[in-house]
Structure 1
Amino acid sequence: MTIASPAGDARTTTDALRTVEDRVLWLSTSMIHHANLVRPNPTGMKVGGHQASCASMVSIMTSLWFEQLRPGDRVSVKPHAAPVLHGINYLLGLLDESYLTTLREFGGLQSYPSRTKDPDPVDYSTGSVGIGATAPIWGAMARRYIDTRLGGDAAGSEAVRADRRSDTVLGRQYSLVGDAELDEGAVWEAILDPSVAELGELVWVVDLNRQSLDRVVPNIAAGRLEAMFAAAGWQVIAVRFGRLLETLFDRDGGSALHTRILDMPNPEYQRLLRCDADELRHRLPGKGSDADEVARVIADVDDATLLAAIRNLGGHDLDALRTAYEQIDDTRPTVILAYTIKGHGLPTEGHPQNHSSLLTVEQYGELATSLGMAVEDPWSGFADGTEAAALCDTVARRLRRDPVESTAPPAVPTDIGKTPTGTSTTQAALGRALLALSREAPEASARVVTVSPDVSSTTNLAGWLNKVGVWSPDERRNWFDDDTETIMHWRERPTGQHMELGIAETNLAGLIGELGATWSRWGQPLFPIGVLYDPFVERALEPWSYGIYAGGQSILVGTPSGVTLAAEGGAHQSITTPSIGLEQPGCVTYEPAFALDVEWILLSCIARLGRPDGTSSYLRLSTRPVDQRLADVPADPAARERRRRHAVAGAYLLRRASSPQITLVGMGAVITETLAAADRLAGQGVDADVVCVTSPGLVFEATQARRGLSDAPSWILDQVFPADRAAPMVTVLDGHPHTLAFLTGVNAVRGAALGVSRFGQVGSLDDVYRLHGIDTESIIRAALDLRR
């Protein structure tokens, strides 16, 4: 079906739209020019900016904002086109003029669009190539989840499909993508996920300028891209040529010109843009059999028209773009491949190295003259009473959004009140804690949504999944519901609370990031928990970090972890993930040792989600069975609460010696060896305090705060590492040893840091621990060495 232009708007006059288009080009170019060549730069360091990349997007974004967008739509803008977005927001009254001189300045406009740092409206933070492009996919899925789970318009309903453009229903999710971004694997991982083909609100517009940072890319084949998107179930719309060039194709013999332009290599076409009219007439016909016919087609075309025609690609033709938008059917994802010229309208137009080049002062003056602007007054707006001013006013009113009224997240209990017994793993404790939450706090549990890349069963989520079901926009039959040997029940329905993706960790991280941003986008907080194999956290780190930067709050669970996964061999053993969790901004990392620690920590992490001051969390869990009696949980309620507070704050004293001669600090799975070493040392007359660290990041922040380098609380240091009990220290974990090495600095004691710093081997747990020196014997030796 076709979609009409926004209700209540008369068809925009071409002249007014072109006037706005020219002004957007001028503003975006001027912001970068001012930042680099006008604003004082005492350090002499490069400021940078991408005038050519902005220019190739001006027509696309002008057409989109001033004719197509609705208040419910959201747009992810190509990173290098940030000044275009700011220019549009300025014309619509959403950005004060004072900010136009602050691009890439401290406290000013960011280098790339940022939801959390820019002063004007930005729907999606971008900047990480490929990640920002895919964010609207997960934003669309998160919006549908909100609608089906928590009320509002059902995103998959027939009513929505029939009238997607109504202000009261789900909006489109646009991605403005550079063609070089399509080289990123993350893009295709997202496009190819089976669930994406159902998201009809997705519209991608590819800026097909055929240039990357260094060169004109010789083999960007639009036909191949069309086939790849179509194979994934997307509607493909190619916007190749503008109206002027099409008139030449319609001439007698014009098919030869059409074929010539389509078949020539990208670099050859780009070279034509650097030619004057005489050279263009010589080069354009080429050397093929149709050269004479091409020459005849253009023979009587005047120079100005010929030069304009060769530049008249579809991505710069407002009529062609409008026609493309009208073809969107909203029943499946759509990609519009818009042929463009990098630097269109600038003196650097089509230059193979124009990616980050800047106009000279002279070239900037030439641009001002050609656009009718004044170099000394670059920020002037449209005069009252002009068509352009009226257009900006009309569009500003149409796109005005009501403020988001945020729902406060429900209260989350701090302690379910049970004490685990027997033997358990921290991985299994995750599923049990979620089930306990559903019984004890159903309102909070209703906001939990778990996400997994096809590893739900192997990460112990089966019980939770069986209880809450799998989310799907529509009810789907479970053909194994009557199979008595099927333990995991895959019930797909709109009320489900588990979302399953294909095996692509970047997709998981992207989705939980957007699920974690619903509190700020639509006022509905969710508690997203993504579960994946810990060795693959590195794969997910970039999109997850991007999501945190963009304001998405989520919990990432890595399990199983470490060389404790001995039988799987070195390829499945994680080493650096504890360090990653410690160093990731906006995130609190935990590695609990006992099942009750998992419960307390998980509840605390959930309580941090869905609020303006919230944070994300990373839990590193293990498949190693541990005797839960070793936790020695206090029976007294006050003492139990004290233990809980310490566990959540990052560490607790697990075993207290009468007069410690050594401090043993263990984290996670190796707490068993740590306690065994303490017992054997005691048999040799060496008393040891045993500290269980649950969060190296929180303890590190406490040490920073004690030195005045952080505003984090530091009380946990006095409780767990009091100066009057200071002793030589051995730290041990199933991960890189430097994660805990800083602890010796709390009281300036001698220490030994044990851990994993090389690739592992397959084998028994004892063999692998011995290989890396994190077994009981190694802990004892390190402790005795420190006493000499």
Structure 2
Amino acid sequence: MVLDPELRAIGGNGTGRARAEELAVLEAVGRRVLWLSTAIIDHANRVRPNPSGLKVGGHQASSASMSSIMTALWFHALTAEDRVSVKPHASPVLHAINYLLGELDESYLTTLRAFGGLQSYPSRAKDPDPVDYSTGSVGIGATAPLWGALARRYVEGHFGGAGRGRQYSLLGDAELDEGAIWEAVQDPMVPSLGEAVWVVDLNRQSLDRVVPGIAADRLQGMFAAAGWQVIILKYGHTLRELFARPGGEALHARIDAMDNPEYQRLLRCSADELRERLPGTGSTAGPIADLIAPLDDASLLAALRNLGGHDIGALLDAFDSVDDTRPTVIFAYTVKGYGLPTEGHPQNHSSLLTAGQMKTLADRLGTDPDRPWAAFAGGSPEAAMCAAAAVRLRRPGHPSRQAPAVPADLARPAPTGSGNTQQALGRVLLDLTRRAPEAAARIVTVSPDVSSTTNLGGWLNKVGVWSPTERPNWFADDAETILHWRERPTGQHVELGIAETNLVGLLGELGATWSRWGQPLLPIGVVYDPFVNRALEPWSFGIYAGGQSILVGTPSGVTLAPEGGAHQSITTPSLGIEQPGCVTYEPAFAIDTEWCLLAALGNLGRPDGSSAYLRLSTRPVDQSAADVPGDPAARERRRRQVTAGAYRLRRHESPVVTLAAMGALVPEALAAADRLAVLGHGADVVCVTSPDLLFRALQARRGLSQDPSWILDQAFPADRATPLVTVVDGHPHTLAFLGTVQNTPITSLGVTRFGQSGSIEDVHRYHGIDTDSIVTAALDLVD
């Protein structure tokens, strides 16, 4: 269904004096919102001292195009249970509204982009006023409410307390160029999310120019084809009234057919120029000229700008017309810089008003430039509307539930025989359902169509697949079907389409439920490790916004030899070191995987928690090589070392070299130590489980952080300091810093070029991470 506002009366949801009075007050509030958002940016750039001379920035034009939309939404349509993602460059509008609602102290209005002040883009974690979704990375913030809606439904269905409410995204039309938008729109989970409402600020300008062909019809068709309700909000009531007069049909057709640049150029015309240029040429020029001739100059200029995204009445009608049975997108036509001297200018994206222009704007909007932050007078209709909205939007507090305790050790005997760390992932999840059911009940796994190939099959069969409604499993009676796909509201696994950005977007929102509704979840996402890079930005942004989750990259490295270069990861081992708010692990043995995963789970869903990245392998490894101590105290000491970053796997009586290996290459390091011993060179072997934690420990030793540093003394004690060879199935710089622990000579081996298909022996030799290469590097150091 397409709602055409041209066929609807402006008072479609209420007529008469009450409606007119509400619209008048909303218009007045909107003018104050426009002023405040513009003044916030002006103060940051023109008034606040700036000794460095560095550009501060801000986006007055981008804020202006959203001011009417956000005024109508906050002061009329929103409820306390609704949540809104605001496009990055409109953050001053959000702060202006929060100020009028009493949610932001006046002292912050002068701190935009200042240290400790209002952030450049909306931030849940760093802004002092209410922000529902962090935005800033174009396209990612816009899609977050889709995953927020799914996370809310999951919490409500499993534990209650999350309520209902719409999930709004306010996005710029340029964001529709981002692939993340369309990956989310077409995901099979999204068509059922009727609470999702997107409002596209269709100002048809980008950073550098007026977009020549916005192809709005094509965009609208793409949403409709994905099952969304599409609402077109193109013209306001003034233009619609003109269209209904003689000659109006010609004017309507003229504006509809007009290229975007021509329309934007008309916005820069004086009234006299507009009377000459608007009629155009041809047979319809006369009727259009006759139509606009009786209009005074102010009315003519206002009519041209009367687009739906700036017409409060049309906006209210659109919000009231949302069909809550499916996602909705509202295409709101706007003018970039609406109401400002820069409106419609092709280069207005980052332009700033002059002091003179600010004074003129204040006079026109009815404010005092010498008292820019003045609130509405007490007892005024505007003050009453702000107070009523503040009461309506005040959210009840959610009691914070503590995340369930996760055992540090499942107390199983250390595995023997051959196995890999990817298999251990599924086994640990199943063990938790028996040994820690309360914690297991909070686990939710997410996969982009790779559940079975990442060893989640047993877990999935145990807990079921989450779905808003129960669906029949048509293969339940097929004896050859091993993976039982039972879809029901009580399931604990969410299966998305194959797009990794959707996976981590959902992970971020599932990981934020502890702070939204006081209901902590323990979300785990699995993805093929080569595609962690593709997922990294939205996952990082989710962490920035307070989402705590575990990302498992598996299988990984060039050890996945026959798959070839396209499926071999190189840079991922160091990503965890570089990613804030995240601990990275790459265990070598199944028991190490268990301990690392349990430690990561124990850090989720709490104010001081963090995310984690586990890099796992499908390479079969002899599990007895882990040499796990049988004594309980010694076992616990090993577990603490594993979860702190490293442990000494083999100690030689008189070492002359240390081999530090990580993950699937530990067998090569052990084999190299054996061969070096035969050559008369004793070698210690250190198994690194977390380069990230080791680097933090090193920083702490230097006084640069508050992290513990004891693990360095146990894994790399000074009295056993020798030249060091590091080896990792990834880029060698991951472990290159270890030479500074005791200031020893070091050679770092790893992968620095794209891989080849072949046997594991051939591929390891090709990259210089085989046993021969380790032995050679060690001999070069000791000789």
In 1, distance between residues paired with 2:688 and 2:524?
23
CA distance in 1, matches of 2:398, 2:645: 35
1:517 matches 2:512:
yes
Return the letter of the residue paired with 2:114: E
Asked whether the 8 Å contact 1:5–1:67 carries over to 2, the reply is no
Q: Given residue 454 of structure 2, which amino acid in structure 1 is its aligned partner?
A: T
Q: 1:221 aligns with which of 215, 219, 236?
A: 215
CA shift, 1:4, in A, is 11
Instruction: Kindly indicate whether residue 385 of structure 2 is the aligned counterpart of residue 385 of structure 1.
Output: no
Aligned to 2:778, what secondary structure does the other structure show? Answer: helix
Unaligned ranges ≥5, structure 2: 4-10
1:761-776 alignment, distance < 5 Å: 761-776=756-771
Residue matched to 1:450: 445
Q: 1: distance between equivalents of 2:394 and 2:344?
A: 37
Rounded Cα–Cα distance in structure 2 between residues aligned with 1:434 and 1:472? 20
> How far apart, CA to CA, are the structure 2 residues paired with 1:291 and 1:772?
73
Q: Aligned pair in 2 of structure 1 residues 369, 470: CA closer, same or farther (>3 Å)?
A: same
CA distance in 1 between counterparts of 2:334 and 2:377 reads 30
Equivalent in the alignment of 1:258: 252
The counterpart of 1:727, out of the listed 722, 725, 736, is 722
Q: Does 1:376 align with 2:370?
A: yes
Q: 2:65 matched to 1:68?
A: no
Match in the other structure for 1:232: 226
Match of 1:673 in 2: 668
User: Greater CA deviation, 359-368 or 36-45?
Assistant: 359-368
> Under a length normalisation based on structure 2, what TM-score does the superposition of the two structures give?
0.97
Report the secondary structure of 1:661's partner residue.
strand
Cα distance between partner residues in 1 of 2:342 and 2:522: 48
> Are the aligned partners of 1:558 and 1:619 in contact in 2 as well (CA < 8 Å)?
yes
Alignment of 1:461-500 (within 5 A): 461-500=456-495
Which of 106, 109, 122 is 1:97 aligned to? 106
- Shift of the 4–680 alpha-carbon distance from structure 1 to 2, 3 Å rule, reads farther
Question: Deviation per CA, 1:402-436, whole angstroms, max 9, x where unpaired?
Answer: 22311001110011111111110101110001001
- Structure 2 residue aligned with 1:401: 395
Letter in 1 for 2:578: E
Question: 2-side partners of 1:46 and 1:27: how far apart?
Answer: 21
Per-residue CA deviation, residues 277-335 of structure 1 (Å, 9 max, x unaligned), is 11001111112432222222212222111100000000000001011111112010000
- Aligned mates of 1:225, 1:59 — CA distance in 2: 23
2:138 equivalent in structure 1: 129
**Aligned pair partner of 2:564 in 546, 553, 569:** 569
Identity %: 72
- Which amino acid in the other structure matches residue 584 of structure 1? Q
Partner of 1:503: 498
Q: Does 1:320 align with 2:314?
A: yes
Distance 1:152 1:5, change over 3 A: farther
Verify the 8 A CA contact 1:562 1:573 in the aligned structure 2. yes
Q: Distance in 2 between matches of 1:656 and 1:438?
A: 37
Q: Deviations over 1:582-623 (max 9, x none)?
A: 100000000000000000000000000000000000000001
Aligned-pair CA distance for 1:5: 8.5
Which runs of structure 2 are paired with 1:109-508 in the superposition (5 Å)? 109-152=118-161, 169-418=163-412, 419-508=414-503
Secondary structure of the residue that 2:58 maps to in structure 1?
Answer: coil
Q: Kindly tell me: are residues 722 and 59 of structure 1, through their superposed partners in 2, closer, same or farther at Cα, counting changes over 3 Å?
A: same
Q: Which residue number corresponds to residue 156 of structure 1?
A: none
Deviation of the 1:394 alpha carbon: 0.7
Does 2:72 match 1:55? no
Give the equivalent residue in structure 2 for 1:164.
none
Cα displacement string for residues 110-149 of structure 1 (whole angstroms, at most 9, x for unaligned residues): 0000001000000000000000000000000000001111
Distance 1:524 1:289 in 2: 66
Instruction: Count how many residue pairs are aligned between Structure 1 and Structure 2.
Output: 770
Asked if 1:646 is matched to 2:633, the reply is no
Counterpart of 1:87, as a letter, is: A
Unmatched segments (≥5 aa) in structure 1: 154-168
State the distance in 1 between where 2:291 and 2:753 align.
68
* Residues 1:718 and 2:725 are matched in the alignment: no
Q: 1:657 offset after TM fit, Å?
A: 1.0
SS, match of residue 655 in structure 2: coil
Contact 1:734 1:756 in 2 (8 A): yes
Paired residue for 2:7?
A: none
Task: Answer yes or no: is the 8 Å Cα contact 2:231–2:328 preserved in 1.
Answer: yes
> In structure 2, what is the Cα distance between the partners aligned to 1:223 and 1:544?
32
Q: Which residue of 1 aligns with 2:6?
A: none
Quick one: distance in 2 between partners of 1:292 and 1:482?
Answer: 75
1:608-627 → structure 2 map (5 Å cutoff): 608-627=603-622
For residue 582 of structure 1, the aligned residue among 577, 584, 594 is 577
Partner of 2:537: 542
> 2 CA distance for matches of 1:5 and 1:331?
20
3-state secondary structure, aligned to 2:189: helix
Contact conserved, 2:13 with 2:317, CA < 8 A, in 1?
A: no
Q: One-letter code of the match for 1:502?
A: G
